[in-house]
Structures are given as C-alpha cells and as structure tokens.
Structure 1
Amino acid sequence: MQVTDLRPLHDWSGPPAVLSLWRPSAASMESAKRAPVSPVLPSYEQEQHLRAFRACEQRHEAMARLLVVVWEEPGRCDLRAMTHVVTEHLRRHDTYHSWFEELGGAIVRHVLTDPAAIQMEPSTLGEACAEDWQKHVMATPAPFAWDCFRFGILQRASGFTCFASIDHLHADATIIAFLMTEIRSAYRAVLDGERPLQLGSPGSYLDYCSSQRQRAAATTLADPEVSRWIAFLHRNGGRMPSFALPLGVLEDRYHAEYVHVDILEEAVMDAFESACHAAGARAIGGLLACAALTERELAGRSHYSVVTPTTTRRSPKAFRTSGWCVGVVPIDFDVQQRRFPELAFTAQRNFDERMSLAETPIELVLELAAGLPTVGSVASGGVMLSYMDVNVPPLSAQIAREWHQANGRVYINQGIAAQVAIWLFRTQRGLSLTAAYPANETARASMQRYVKAFAGACRRAADALVPTCLDVGRER
C-alpha cells in the first residue's frame, strides 16, 4: 500500500483480513453513564465541534469528524496484550474520561471519577474487505456518546494493520503520530517484558479546558488580540477569507470531496526550504507566499488572506496530551508585483507577529463582537491552509522514524464541510497536499487549477536557488 499523509477514508484499500475491534465493556459503559457533571466547560474547540455535529444531525447530513490513524505491525497480534495497551491508553489520557450532554442550550461535561473503571474488550468479527472495514470505522459512535473512539486490527498471514478511530473531540493532527508511537511502544514492551519507550507523562486536557475558559472570561472587546481579529475580519468584509476561484455554490455548507497530490519530492522540498531560509523565512512563510502567488496568477488578487491552524500546546508535557488544542492564525498581506523572496519574508513576519492570536478562539471573538454590524456571526466558510512538518519538534526525529517505519497514515471521513481546507504535510518523502472542497464540477476544476499552479509556484521558488540539486533529485 502506498504511504500517504492524509486521505479520505474511502481511499483506503487492502486485501481481505480478519477484523478484531476493541470496545468498552458493559461495566465501563455503565460507569460512564453514572459519571457526575463537572464544572469544567468544554474547550472552545470541543463546543464548536459538538454544536456543528448537532446542526449536521438536524439536517440529516454527515459530518467529517473522525481522525483515523493506521499503521503496520509484523507477526500475529496478541489480543490480550493489545487489550491491556488500549485500555491503559484510555486511562492515561483524561480527555477520554469525559462525555457531554445538552442541558437548556448549554453543553455540560460529565467526567468519570475513576479511570480504572475503563476496560476495553476485543471481539473478532471475521474476515473483512476494505468496504467492511470502512463501515466499521464509520460506525464509531458520535461525539455526544462517551465511547466515540474505537481501536482495532486487521490480521493477515504476513502481519497486521493497527488502527484507531477517534472522534475529533478527543484528538487533533498534532497528537496523531505520538498516539501511534505510544500504543506501538507499549504493545512491544508488553510482548517483550520490557519497559516501554520513556515518552513521559501526559498533561491534563481538563486543565487545558479550564485555563482556556479562565482566559476567555477575562477577555473583552478592548483587548489587543480581539481588536486585531476584528480588524482582520473587517478587511474581509466581516467574514472569514474567501477562496480565490469559483466553487459552484453560494452557501457556506456543502458536501465535500478530496484530492491528494504529492507536490514536491524530497530533494525539491529540501531546495524549497533552502530558498525560504535565504529569504529570511521558514517553510510556512514560503508556502504562504506560494499560495499568494497562486491567487495572483489565477485570480489577479493583489491581497492575500487566509487562516492557518496551529497548535496551542506550549510545553513538552502538552505535546504528550491527547485532546484538541488548536487555534487559528489570521494571515493577510499585499502581494502586488512582489517576488517570492520578499513575499516569503513578509508572510513569515505576518505569521510570527500574529501567532498569539491563536490563543484567542475565533468563536470567542464573534461572541464579543456580536453587537458590531460589520462582523458576521458565523466563523465558518472561507479558506484554511494548514502546514505540518513531521520531522521537527513537537514531533521528534524518533517519532518521525517510527511513523515512517510503520507506514503511518491518517484518514478522515467524508461529510459536510464549511470551508475550503488545504493540508500540507512535510515528511521524509517530501511535500504532499490534501484539499477538501465542494463536490461539484466547478469546484473540482478550480481545485485542479489551483493545485497545479501552487505546485508550480513551489517548484519555481526551489529552482531559482539551487537547480543542480533538483536535477539530481529528479534522476533518482
């Protein structure tokens, strides 16, 4: 199977294999049901996700809500050992100890008082083809259910595929590779009778939620971060940024489809990063510059505007904590007739200067700005560009090697989307792009044009600095 970085779930394929699935025991479900209400509110990320899910449910729409991490292991899976490992994983991370319900328009959290009450149980379901596996993954319970997570394996004669299907409520992309490494290391340690890889203790996602809500309670419309967010929205007509090309829809909500493309091979990506450094930027600045050049080329735009997500984890312990810890950074700058080096420097400075705005949730900004006639009331719509490099901190070289050696990859289920989303991944193989966009011919044609032009802009930036390096890379 080809190694991928992020793909839609229906792209997964493989020969039939024996499927085993881990679910919470009946006693665990009963303990969760009795869990008392907690004073800790959901994080802004969780609340937005839960409300979006409920809106989709009321419209009878599917929601893209699952993060499915998949990797390969040799030999025959020891089900007893894996049962111990997935149970300990759920006990170890306190985000899994919560479930949510709606009460009088509010969303309240229930928390299991004793993590030891969590016990996973395996069941072997027989031979499954790719479509069968996808259906089982899609059956992962919805985010208002406590057990909105599943773990499983597909056993073949030559080895087995491990997978974890986790509702976005409890995980984000930053933690995916660490999650795989934690489970993989613990499983091998149980088999070998050795101590697992010393990854360190995780932090508390409940503490993250409490801290975020405390900061929000002290935030006002006059705060500099809120003012900068509102100024950004004003420059975009009171809304989030719009995609540069026609999408064939007028509404913000649409059924999404996906495209996955390898943009730059390893040698070319190395050259691209060198071009970024020569311009006084990092890869994120260079990629934002290329996106701006793409919009200028295709749509004649002289001003670039986008939001880019970034982790809000700020300590080594936080990077070992499962949960959803992501904010977005508003980016906009003039393009005019400027060339890549100047744009990369400008984009990088823009990104660095606005990083602190990710700590102020856009949902909070809209709450505070509700009385302003020039700011819209919905944070959805627009375009998002995300970049992740799995080779550098917070994902260590050791974790990156584990991910590569185990053929790690991530899948997302299809559903209704409220924006054009572009994910860029830097791995040991180079740079890949996955995009979600409206499922219609107009948007499909626009995205094909965009991806081709964006890849060309990245390659030209790399070519301009070290063409000899690229020539060598293309001969491989």
Structure 2
Amino acid sequence: MRLTNVARMDTRPGRLSSYSVTVSAPEGSPLPVSFDQNRHVSFGSRPGSWMAAAFSLEHPSSRDEVAAAWHAVIERHGTLRTTFSWADAGLRLNPVRIGPGGWEQLAPVHARPVAEISLRAGSADVAPAGPTAPDDGVLTAEEVRQALRAHFDAVCDPFAAPSHRLCLLEPEDGSPPQVIIGADHSHVDAWSLLVIIRDLTTCLRDLQTGRPPGATLPAAEPFAAHTAALEARPAPPEPLVERWREILDAGGGVMPRFPLPLGDLSLPQPEVVEVRDVLDPAQLARLEAHAIAHGVRLIAVAVSVMTALFAELGDQPLRTVFPVHSRDERRWFDSVGWFITNAVLENDDPSLEASHRAVKEAIGLGSQPLAPIMRPYGGMPAEPGMFAMSWLDHRRLPIAVDEALRPQHVSAVISTDGVMIWFVINETGLHLRCRYPDTPEARVTMPAWLDALETRLRETA
C-alpha cells in the first residue's frame, strides 16, 4: 500500500461521483471519547483533518452495487455510525443511524454550484453537492485530485454527520472504477484503511455473486468498546509515569522537536512532502538479514542510522514522538477506529543493541493509556517543530490487501509547523515519506537530512 497525499495520488481521467448517506438524529446514550479523539476534534473544524483509502476494483461495478457494499461496511463498524458534537459537559460522541442517500457528480473546483442529482427517496436532507461537472463529465487526473481535496476538506470535517464519504472514479477508458473513501482522522487510522479496503471489496464480491455481504468476514468490535476498555484500566505504574516525566522535562516540558534548523514556525506553513523509494526488495532483504544477524528487527537499523545522523549533524540525541498501535488484543484487529497512542523514542547510542532497547522502551511507554499521564500537562504538550516518526511494515499486519488493487493511503494537504516521517515497508521495498514546513531554512535542512538518511540506509544494505 503506497503512502501518498491527495496532490500526488495515482488516478486517471474520468467521471468522479460522491455518495452521501442520510443520518438520523443522535439516538441512545453518548459513547466514550478517546484521548486522541478528544485532542483531534477539539482543534475544531478545519480542512485537511481527514485521511483516505484509494484502490481500483477488480471488475466493472455499478454505482448502486458500490453504494450497497459501502452500507454493509458501515453496518460492520460502529465508529462509522457516530458523530461528534459539543455539549455543556464537553465533547460528545453520538451514535446515529445511517440510511440510504444518493450520488452527486463532482467537477473542477472552479465550476459554479448546482443541486445534487440522482437522489434516492428519503435523502432530502442531504446538502447541495457543489460544483457542476463539465458537459461530458470527464475530469483530467489533476482535476480529480483537486476535486477530491476540496470535497473531502468540506465533508470529512470532525463535526460532519457523518464525517466520511465514498467517492467513485469511473475512468474514461472503461477500465474498472477507482474507489476513494475519505474519513476524518477521529474515526480511522492507517490500519483501518486496510480493513475498509478488504471489507468493501469482499462485500462487493458477495453482492455480485448473490451472497450476504460480509458474511464470511470476522466480527468487528466497535472502537468505542476499546475506549471503554482503556478507561477501565488501573492507573499506570508509577515508574512509567516517572519516565514520561523525565522525557518531557528533557524536552523543556513539551514533546520532542526536530533538532536541526527549520526557520520561523510562529505560524503553520504550507507543507512540503517528499516520497522516496529507498530500498528495492533485494536490498530490503539484505538489510533485514543484517538486522537478524545482530538479533534485532529492521526498525532498530533505521533508529541506529537516525541516531548517528543527529549526533553528526546537530550534536543531539534522537528524540521523536513515536506512534504505537493499541490493538493489543486479537478482537481489535478487524475493527475500524483510531487505535493509536503516542510514545517517545529516545536514543543517544547508535549501536544496534541500544537502538533495539530504545524501540522496546518506546513501545512500553505506549502500552498505557495517555489520558492519566498527560492530565497534569493539560493534554499532550506540543510546540512548533514537533518531530514524529511512524513505522509501517505492512508485511507484519494481519490484514492483507492485494497490491493488484493499487491501494493507496492518501493524506490531506495541510499547513504544518512540525516534521513527520513515515517508514513504509511492503513487498516492493522500503519507502520514506516526509512532511515538513515550507520555510527557506527547512528547504535546505530537510532534503540534506533525507539524502543522508537514504544514503546511509542503502550503504548499510
């Protein structure tokens, strides 16, 4: 699965449509809100708070078939049937009922607004669609990217009802459609995108062959149950709380910041995104064999290289926010939700053994709920320049998606005041994706740092 953003995603010319469901008024008692959901949604409505999965279907499929499969997916996953709202007591997560909706055709973002077309019965509450399509309805690939960005920025808002949307691109050349599903980050993580692709393609195949959609898929526990399970845990052990205190004190009371010059970050800047294919499958195999020979995993090699680079370029240790997934039980593996907690990875010794220990400690720091640990700080304390590193090895995940579907993890285009780097490993090799602010200083610092990181990894391989 390729990690990209909406300005770079792989798509084709064609007709782009969006399917909007109908949503009932909140029903039932509010559900628990996770630490990360509260932090994310409390920032308010804003463009770019979403992520998306894009993939091609195996066979030609009608809009009605795709919509029916999507409804089956929504019924499987509780978080896709919830909405956020403000109340006197604070943020509320409300269960809702999802009903049939209708399709609208999207167009270049500069076109004039028109009403929605082809609405099904009962969908009168759906908002107007937005721009009209050209006479023939065909968008260029770049127009598709622009339309998706504008559309998801508008409809995948943290407070939208719902905050997810299914889009369908029907290529001009008649090849099978491309599906793009966007959702506000409060309801999905990277693993969830794989679950959504697997579930929708399975449900669609079932519908087309006369089987009940999703009958063979594993049961999917709702994300709210995971939040409740975390809230029910005992208080974190004092040694772990003390270690968090030490880490934050070392960073001046805030989460780690990138230690090399980034320039003026008093205001968020437009993002720069670099995607690099670092190692091919043969090189990756050699690097992995090197790690195994030293009794460590591949991630320890990357941590070792970054530790050495920061020592050489800035005389600083490696200190980075390190997302850790919280799917710590098998029952969460097939669920959609934001099953992520944050840790800090700290290392000043580039040896593989020390790097391995640093990764192990970071995973331990992320094994406990963050809410009680961060409460004295008023939430996760962050300042401009925050540095985060994500490690995504798709080969180790229990959810497999066929690469023939050309799956893509599509991020939004945003403004940023920090640095985020993703190491993505799959059957095609090791890839890097990095996001950083577009300042004159960062335009010098970051490409040089990424060049050095890429070179070291290749030399080690």
TM-score range, shorter chain: 0.7 to 0.9
The structure-2 alpha-carbon separation of the partners of 1:173 and 1:63, relative to structure 1 and needing over 3 Å to count, comes to same
Could you tell me how far 1:70 is from its partner in structure 2?
0.6
Match of 2:102 among 116, 121, 130: 121
Q: How many residues align structurally?
A: 424
The Cα offsets for residues 420-459 of structure 1, whole Å up to 9 and x where unpaired, read as: 1101100111111111111122112211011111111212
1:65 and 1:412 in contact (8 A); partners too: no
Matches within 5 A, 1:26-425: 29=23, 31=24, 33-38=25-30, 40-52=31-43, 54=44, 57=45, 62-104=46-88, 106-112=90-96, 115=97, 117-125=98-106, 126-129=137-140, 130=144, 131-156=146-171, 157-194=174-211, 198-215=216-233, 218-219=234-235, 223-251=238-266, 253-301=268-316, 303-335=317-349, 338=350, 343-362=351-370, 364-369=372-377, 377-378=381-382, 381-395=385-399, 399-400=400-401, 402=402, 404-425=403-424
The structure-2 alpha-carbon separation of the partners of 1:299 and 1:380, relative to structure 1 and needing over 3 Å to count, comes to closer
Say which SS state the counterpart of residue 406 (structure 2) adopts. Answer: coil
Say which SS state the counterpart of residue 151 (structure 2) adopts. Answer: helix
The structure-2 alpha-carbon separation of the partners of 1:379 and 1:442, relative to structure 1 and needing over 3 Å to count, comes to closer
The structure-2 alpha-carbon separation of the partners of 1:328 and 1:92, relative to structure 1 and needing over 3 Å to count, comes to same
The one-letter amino acid of 2:397's match is P
The one-letter amino acid of 1:35's match is E
* Distance (whole Å) between structure 1 residues aligned to residue 325 and residue 380 of structure 2: 25
Could you tell me how far 1:34 is from its partner in structure 2?
3.8
The Cα offsets for residues 347-381 of structure 1, whole Å up to 9 and x where unpaired, read as: 212222342321335454231346xxxx9944775
1:281 and 1:345 in contact (8 A); partners too: yes
After TM superposition, the structure 1 stretch with the greater mean CA deviation from structure 2, 232-241 or 4-13, is: 4-13
The structure-2 alpha-carbon separation of the partners of 1:67 and 1:246, relative to structure 1 and needing over 3 Å to count, comes to same
Q: Which residue of 1 aligns with 2:123?
A: none
Say which SS state the counterpart of residue 119 (structure 1) adopts. Answer: strand
2:281 and 2:427 in contact (8 A); partners too: yes
List alignment gaps of at least 5 residues for structure 1: 463-476
Could you tell me how far 1:13 is from its partner in structure 2?
5.3
The structure-2 alpha-carbon separation of the partners of 1:208 and 1:234, relative to structure 1 and needing over 3 Å to count, comes to same
| Aligned residues with identical type, % of pairs | 20
* Distance (whole Å) between structure 2 residues aligned to residue 380 and residue 214 of structure 1: 33
1:76 and 1:155 in contact (8 A); partners too: no
2:3 and 2:433 in contact (8 A); partners too: yes
* Distance (whole Å) between structure 2 residues aligned to residue 74 and residue 306 of structure 1: 40
* Distance (whole Å) between structure 2 residues aligned to residue 128 and residue 409 of structure 1: 20
Say which SS state the counterpart of residue 262 (structure 1) adopts. Answer: strand
- TM-score, with length taken from structure 1: 0.83
1:150 and 1:166 in contact (8 A); partners too: yes
* Distance (whole Å) between structure 2 residues aligned to residue 369 and residue 133 of structure 1: 38
List alignment gaps of at least 5 residues for structure 2: 107-136
After TM superposition, the structure 1 stretch with the greater mean CA deviation from structure 2, 66-75 or 424-433, is: 66-75
- TM-score, with length taken from structure 2: 0.85
Could you tell me how far 1:275 is from its partner in structure 2?
1.2
The one-letter amino acid of 2:36's match is E
Alpha carbon RMSD of aligned pairs, Å?
2.4
Q: Which residue of 2 aligns with 1:474?
A: none
The Cα offsets for residues 269-300 of structure 1, whole Å up to 9 and x where unpaired, read as: 11111111122210111111111122123223
